Chain A
Amino acid sequence: MQRFWLFLFGFGVKAGIVPLHIWLPVAHPVAPSNISALLSGVLIKTGITG
């Protein structure tokens, strides 16, 4: 029970699922664009892969 929610919350912040997504639209415009491409392509998906 708690395990599921804790893992969902922890990985959810990294993956950016909706209630926890607020850091993403802030982080993207201030990142350099080549880093920004890696940010959305690779780094967010590591939250899903876990």
Chain B
Amino acid sequence: MTRVFFDFLGTPPNWWGVTSAYIGTISALLGVLYALMEHDLKRLLAYHSIENIGIILMGLGAALMFRHANNPLLARWPPWPSSPPCITPSTTPFQSVAFPRRRRGPALDPYAHMEEMGGLIKRMPKTALFFLVGAVAISACRT
């Protein structure tokens, strides 16, 4: 999307940015609401990446609007949350760190539900440490 909208299609009309920002807002809101309802760890992380995509799309829409308004300085600023050097460190580590807990989990406890997990630090201390880092990252340190 970034490459097509910014490099191939030229200066966009304003409503492209407005529409992208609205869709991104809806995606972020609904994604996090679905994630709140979820008890399966993997489905929760799936909904969480939907919410992440929404936030990124909001930045992309803002950049399109600034670009329409011929404000190259501001137009360069908002898409950086959606640029690969930024999104890769901001989203990949916590998800890569959070998923192995689910992978090794069922071998030791057969539950997919988060409420029934627990006592991880006693059985797998290293995984528990990395999962803590992932949980901190997923809570606050995004985008």
Contacts and interface: CB of A to CB of B under 8 A. Distances in A.
B2 A25 contact: no
B20 A8 contact: yes
Interface of A: 3-4, 7-8, 11-12, 15-18, 21, 24-25, 27-29, 32-34, 36-38, 40-42, 44-45, 47-50
Interface residues on B, range: 35 or more
A17 B57 contact: yes
Interface of B: 1-5, 9, 12, 16, 19-20, 23-24, 26-27, 30-31, 34, 38, 40, 42-43, 45-50, 53-54, 56-57, 60, 82-84, 87-88, 91-93, 95-96, 98-100, 102-103, 112
